[in-house]
Structure 1
Amino acid sequence: MLKKKSVRIILLIIVLAIIGGGGFLGYYRLSRIQGTKQEEIINKELKNTTAATKVIVYTQDRAFKNEIMNEVKKEVASQKIYMEIQPIEEMDSDFSKWDKVVIFGTVQSSEPPGNSRAVIEEHLGDKKMGIFLTADSGVWSHQPEDVDVFASASKNENSKVFKEKILAFIDNK
């Protein structure tokens, strides 16, 4: 009788541990979900101007990325740069109308979001593509060798670095 009771207690502990672990992992995943960015246009009047640099930024709606993009938008607003900010989920692989394409997303499950990996691989070596990724570990663990990426953790002390690197990429002709 005592043996049956011990087995039941052990099984109950195992079941509770599995449920608790699953709940924690579920909460962790949900807390890391990135929102869908709303389309924005900076310097709309420059859209059809040949003298303006045309930039598209594919990104996500998350406090860290929004803070950086707000700083980037302030800088760009005073320059001859036409910029569109689009949701990363709607990334287009046709770069022909852009001088610069910025991919600014988060690595989740070891990969960048949506179809961005396929687009990145399609445009390997294209100097108009800049890739800026956030990740808890600070690295893209499955990063292909031929892809030049700036990756770092989403920490406040990294926001200035992201802003400066994105602006430097946009300004580098």
Structure 2
Amino acid sequence: MKKSVKISLITVGVCVLLFGASAVAYRIIRTQGFANSYTINQKEKAQSKVLILTQQSHFKDSVMAKVKDTFEGQPLFIQVQDISTIDNVKQKDWDRILLITTVQSSDLPEKAVHFIKKEANFSKVHLFVTADSGRWPKKPKEVDVVTTTSKKSNIDTFSNAINQVIQKND
């Protein structure tokens, strides 16, 4: 084999390897953490019950802190838990269910997709999505969807949209 062919093959191989490693590293870096569960207000005094299923990230944590500040002390029970617990959700127990999640590789987490497609009562379920582009072309038609980028400048807008859904009177 000629020396130039060997160098070309090695160069192409290294490029493919670097691209693959970069793709894996990007996916790992962008993976969301596990959100801690907590409640806002007492269930016994609540006129309405809201479940928020989310993920852990700096942006989502900041948004949820604003939501918590808004609703503490209100006659409203809010349960916050990680979106991975979605399999255990009984929709009849909640007045509203908010899914706050991230689009990765153009899709939501698999459990969230299954929930939306198979089980969601679309008058109760509201979807809040963060995406790098701020747009998500696969929005389901049946579900209210708000999409944004995870930028500090969007925290107020995103939390206000969540607050409006929580306050909504049916």
d(CA) in 1 for partners of 2:140, 2:159:
24
Match of 1:85 in 2: 80
Counterpart pick for 1:65 among 60, 65, 72: 60
1:146 Cα offset (Å): 2.8
d(CA) in 1 for partners of 2:60, 2:31:
13
1:93 Cα offset (Å): 4.5
1:38 Cα offset (Å): 1.3
1:120 Cα offset (Å): 1.5
Match of 2:8 in 1: 10
Counterpart pick for 2:47 among 52, 69, 75: 52
d(CA) in 2 for partners of 1:80, 1:114:
33
d(CA) in 1 for partners of 2:142, 2:97:
17
d(CA) in 2 for partners of 1:27, 1:71:
31
d(CA) in 1 for partners of 2:127, 2:71:
18
Identity of aligned residues (%): 33
Structure number with the higher helix fraction is 2
Runs of 4+ that moved beyond 4 A = none
Report Cα offsets for 1:64-116 as digits up to 9, x if no partner: 00000011001110311111101101114421111111100101122212411
Secondary structure of the residue aligned to 2:142 is coil
Higher mean displacement: 73-82 or 111-120: 111-120
Question: Which residue identity is paired with 1:47?
Answer: K
1:12 Cα offset (Å): 0.8
Secondary structure of the residue aligned to 1:34 is coil
**1:57, 1:104 within 8 Å by CA — same for their partners in 2?**
yes
Counterpart pick for 2:123 among 127, 131, 134: 127
Question: Which residue identity is paired with 1:21?
Answer: F
Secondary structure of the residue aligned to 2:93 is coil
TM-score normalised to the size of structure 2?
A: 0.91
Q: CA RMSD in A?
A: 1.6
Q: Unaligned regions of 5+ residues in structure 2, if any?
A: none
1:125 Cα offset (Å): 6.0
Question: Which residue identity is paired with 1:94?
Answer: K
Structure index of larger Rg: 1
* Total equivalences in the alignment: 168
Q: Unaligned regions of 5+ residues in structure 1, if any?
A: none
Match of 1:141 in 2: 137
d(CA) in 2 for partners of 1:163, 1:103:
13
**1:89, 1:114 within 8 Å by CA — same for their partners in 2?**
no
TM-score normalised to the size of structure 1?
A: 0.90
d(CA) in 2 for partners of 1:135, 1:84:
24
